[in-house]
Structure 1
């Protein structure tokens, strides 16, 4: 397991979620030994993109789950082999590395087959015949390597062999009856036998026992284009070894391979392993390049991914697979949600306007000064989440922290906030789905499933033209995803208030919670700026009273 700690904000991340994850990961890297990586669970909104570009900070890596994947395990490294190498060479590599299976790759290092000790030996026993070199397109190089031979003469025409293997352990005249054109002949040092072999126009003559070859024989071999090699082995050994010169591609398993991808979840590959009995399984990347092999014992030693949550503490807002991970910490400023842990963890929850305020405090409490870039990110998050202190969630602590951080980041807060809000609130070019989900959270209020999205904009006139389409979108989403209530807050930064759009079977709760009457599923509420402090609490109270 790669010992990485992941710092994650919530789904549909806003500026606070992203910037807090980056800043806290940086803090953990400065004080700890374990590498810490900020991650995101969704696409960046325009405001967050503006912030990251402004301070030249890379976007966190996107991940889909924290369930353990093959890439998280310390799988075995393997030595891939070429399909052209001989069985003897493959066997030697297996013995050297103490493995029973080798992946076979093409010239681009992509997996094309598997060569196992069992299929090499069993296939070798099953397919032996004297035409094996012809059938398998065995090369002269493989034969020379297998027989530890020395080349006496190599014909330019010798690339592959079309004939059968013949051992001339008989009188020369008897051999003449067996040898045909292009055959591969294993012989001794008898010159008369060698001449007959050449007369029959063999393609390869293998001389055993390290015997010299006369100039006369070499000259004649050149005339007919017959290659000559000399092996130190005796005739019996040479005849026994030569089938091992067959290339691996002839015997390897090519079809119905059981191969895992590095992204595969460990829990899902268990079933495949239970249904098959292989000792190991190849692991490839998304380009089908071999990365290693995995065996059953890797699953026994499985470790969980380590996770820190920022800016949320509710399971519905968090990363999929959290139940299979090891949750180390939670840093948040929202209500306490439903995440449970098996062991005590570091949990810090403060009633401030922004998670970034808490993280900045952690820096200073530990005697660390944020870098200029990190200070800029933390400033951006505070400005965004508090709407530059127009939100009722704002606290004196937020204001003090913003002033301190802005000095480090060297920014003019008012000027920067105006640029950031302008970049983030434009609705031009956005789809209904992008607008609704750019800052959307799901809450469990009693037995109710409630979704609340919020957009902060200076372009309320532009939104008015798409209001009916947005209500239709929300109605469809409510029905298809079984929401009891869906709300979209359209917060007007110029008027310091929000228009609520509501759909779902329990939308009557809006009337009760805010003492208003919905008009065509809409109601404007002056001073309503905060989802956390001004929407969820009254909705919770209204739902409780209704029950």
Structure 2
């Protein structure tokens, strides 16, 4: 079985985060025997959606957590049994599969109940009611199967059994022994067979494969009594016939404890310890049975495998990361606080985009990215380096971008203009969406700092939104216990940014940039990079305070 490896960017993903995950998944799938799956931790921005649509690529799957779930386990996948099969058939399946419990389903494939060895044993040992076939609505087909019988005469296609089970081997002295609608087991004595029919029995079971005479068959037709023959003797037939009742009559169907494939392992552990059943049915999102789980599966669980791109700080990563195995980190930011239990491949380079590093990995290994992936990498590099105008841009970004553009067959300048135009539109976006579309959390000493960034080509259109944004930012600072929240609105073509600053420690921003805030805002020329021009001076000032 090929292992799944999830490749993820950071929360509130930008174009680099999404495109690098998709591209690196292609590389891993081409070079290793794994199933690399790109995932995302948030909604796709308009800019990223433009890039994906331009090159005809679907967005990665949205994943909220990498905590282990039932779907990650190799659960028992024994096929469920139908609710109308016989006890004998259920026991045969259990012996063949060497299992102790089976899920039971209705014709619509929804769970009906659970049958266990103890259910079968109890039903067989505790059945003292000779009306059990009638009460359980046992079908003729179940009786035929259980007794390996064949039909001699069938009185009714929809035969319904209402009477008790009677064994009649000798000529009876008491005619009250057999009543109308009864199910009678008898031998080869024609006198007894005739007596059974005269009593208006509903079903006559003749043992030892004895074929009745034409006289008996004609009388059965007259009386409306079905006749079947079995190879078993009367004693064996009498022992076996209770095993023909349908499994739904003895199964456990009340207070069932079931789990879903999406349930988290940490949530089901306590339930399993408290109830201590042998196994539990597992249902999919449609309510259909997909298997069963026992405590053994929890012991053998495997952690999800994860590769991080475009980030290496826990606060920016997927929920449940501590319960997963980090295999690799590919990033171009400062080294953060993520710890691993074993050595990993960690590639961190001071370039303008993680996608530059990913593209380099392709080329270093002599592999050419597909045309679509080359296009995605182009879009990500253009976005993260602001078309190579950001101070984070390097000569490596420029060389890689040109090489990728040739593979993708795009004009860099023309594509960049279309991409920025699509990505910087503010139409229809709320203040909360604007703040969160590219928002990162940083732990700096004892300070919790949030920095969001928006790129635009028309700064004047943004001015009316400032007051609403301050309200949203102050709420975020209060609820999230942030010491400082900053939103930088970057003008792509003027290479400058408007800063909106909220939180109890706005003075940190003022000291970091040696600037006085005007009603919580400041305009700074030639500052466009959060990573290289904003985070370092903030960190330095906070360390001085510490």
Indicate the residue corresponding to 1:423 in structure 2: 422
Displacement of 1:157 in angstroms is: 6.0
Deviation by residue 1:199-219 (Cα, 9 ceiling, x = unmatched) = 222211111122121112211
Indicate the residue corresponding to 1:184 in structure 2: 183
Q: Tell whether the 8 Å contact from 1:157 to 1:225 is kept in structure 2 after alignment.
A: no
Q: How is 1:55-134 mapped onto 2 (pairs within 5 angstroms)? A: 55-134=55-134
Indicate the residue corresponding to 1:335 in structure 2: 334
Deviation by residue 1:384-427 (Cα, 9 ceiling, x = unmatched) = 00111221111111111111111111100010001111111111
In structure 2, the residue corresponding to 1:172 is in which secondary structure? coil
Indicate the residue corresponding to 2:540 in structure 1: 541
Once superposed, what is the RMSD of the aligned Cα atoms? 1.6
In structure 1, the residue corresponding to 2:451 is in which secondary structure? strand
Distance in 2 separating the partners of 1:211 and 1:341 = 76
Deviates more, 1:213-222 or 1:165-174: 165-174
Deviation by residue 1:481-530 (Cα, 9 ceiling, x = unmatched) = 11111111111224321111122111222222222222222222222211
Q: Tell whether the 8 Å contact from 2:496 to 2:525 is kept in structure 1 after alignment.
A: yes
Indicate the residue corresponding to 1:363 in structure 2: 362
In structure 1, the residue corresponding to 2:184 is in which secondary structure? strand
Q: Tell whether the 8 Å contact from 1:103 to 1:282 is kept in structure 2 after alignment.
A: yes
Q: Tell whether the 8 Å contact from 1:102 to 1:116 is kept in structure 2 after alignment.
A: yes
Q: Tell whether the 8 Å contact from 1:2 to 1:74 is kept in structure 2 after alignment.
A: no
Indicate the residue corresponding to 2:525 in structure 1: 526
In structure 1, the residue corresponding to 2:48 is in which secondary structure? helix
In structure 2, the residue corresponding to 1:287 is in which secondary structure? coil
Displacement of 1:297 in angstroms is: 2.4
Q: How is 1:110-509 mapped onto 2 (pairs within 5 angstroms)? A: 110-156=110-156, 158-174=158-174, 176-509=175-508
Displacement of 1:158 in angstroms is: 4.4
Q: Tell whether the 8 Å contact from 1:458 to 1:493 is kept in structure 2 after alignment.
A: yes
Change (3 A) 1:212 1:429: same
Displacement of 1:287 in angstroms is: 1.2
Q: Tell whether the 8 Å contact from 1:153 to 1:229 is kept in structure 2 after alignment.
A: yes
Deviation by residue 1:121-159 (Cα, 9 ceiling, x = unmatched) = 113322431110111111011111111111011112643
In structure 2, the residue corresponding to 1:465 is in which secondary structure? helix
Distance in 2 separating the partners of 1:507 and 1:123 = 75
Displacement of 1:106 in angstroms is: 2.1
Distance in 1 separating the partners of 2:511 and 2:128 = 86
Change (3 A) 1:433 1:223: farther
Change (3 A) 1:297 1:76: same
Deviation by residue 1:285-338 (Cα, 9 ceiling, x = unmatched) = 111222222222222222222211110000000111211222111111101100
- Unpaired runs of 5+ residues, structure 1, are none
TM-score, structure 1 length as denominator?
0.96
In structure 2, the residue corresponding to 1:472 is in which secondary structure? helix
Size of the alignment, in residue pairs? Answer: 546
Q: Tell whether the 8 Å contact from 2:280 to 2:293 is kept in structure 1 after alignment.
A: yes
- Unpaired runs of 5+ residues, structure 2, are none
Distance in 2 separating the partners of 1:404 and 1:457 = 27
Displacement of 1:453 in angstroms is: 0.9
Distance in 1 separating the partners of 2:430 and 2:162 = 66
Q: Tell whether the 8 Å contact from 1:309 to 1:331 is kept in structure 2 after alignment.
A: yes
Distance in 2 separating the partners of 1:436 and 1:510 = 18
Q: Tell whether the 8 Å contact from 1:83 to 1:247 is kept in structure 2 after alignment.
A: yes
Distance in 2 separating the partners of 1:126 and 1:213 = 34
Change (3 A) 1:124 1:430: farther
Distance in 2 separating the partners of 1:220 and 1:454 = 93
